[in-house]
Chain A
Amino acid sequence: MSKQIAGKPESMSPVVTHYCPGCSHGVVHRLVAEVLDELGLREQTVGVASVGCSVLAYNYFETDFVQAPHGRAPAVATGVKRANPNACVFTYQGDGDMAAIGTSEVIHAAVRGEKITCIMYNNSIYGMTGGQMSPTTLMGAVTATTPYGRGPEAGMPYRMAEILATTPGAAYVARTHVADVGNIVKTKRAIKKAFELQMKGVGFTMVEVLGNCPTNWGLTPSESNKYVTGEMLPYFPLGELKDVTKEVPAGVHA
Chain B
Amino acid sequence: MRAKLELQENHCKGCELCVQACPRDVLAMGSNINALGYRPASIVDPEKCTGCKACALVCPEVCFTIWQVA
Contact = CB atoms under 8 A, between A and B. Distances in A.
> Are A and B direct contacts in the complex by CB distance below 8 Å?
yes
Interface of A: 1-9, 12, 16-17, 19-27, 30, 180-181, 184-185, 214, 220-222, 225
B40 to A, nearest CB: 10
Interface in B12-37: 13-17, 20-21, 36
Given A6-B53, A16-B36, A22 B17 contact: yes
Given A3-B67, A3-B68, A181-B54, A8 B13 contact: no
Given A22-B60, A181-B57, A4 B65 contact: yes
A22 B61 CA distance: 9
Contact of A222 (B17, B59, B60, B62): B17
Interface residues on B, range: 20 to 34
B43 to A, nearest CB: 14
B11 interface: yes
A7 B17 contact: no
Interface of B: 3-4, 11, 13-17, 20-21, 36, 38, 51, 53-54, 56-62, 64-70
A22 B21 CA distance: 13
Dominant secondary structure at the A interface: mixed
A23 B60 contact: yes
Most B C-beta atoms less than 10 A away, residue of A5, A6, A7, A22: A6
A185 B57 contact: yes
A92 B54 CA distance: 25
A4 B67 contact: yes
B16 A222 contact: yes
A6 B52 CA distance: 10
25 contacts: A1-B69, A1-B70, A4-B68, A5-B51, A5-B53, A6-B66, A7-B62, A8-B65, A9-B62, A16-B11, A16-B36, A19-B60, A21-B15, A22-B13, A26-B59, A26-B60, A26-B62, A27-B57, A27-B60, A181-B21, A181-B58, A214-B15, A221-B15, A222-B16, A225-B17
A32 to B, nearest CB: 12
Given A4-B67, A181-B21, 10 more contacts: A2-B70, A5-B66, A8-B65, A16-B36, A17-B61, A26-B59, A30-B62, A181-B57, A221-B15, A221-B16
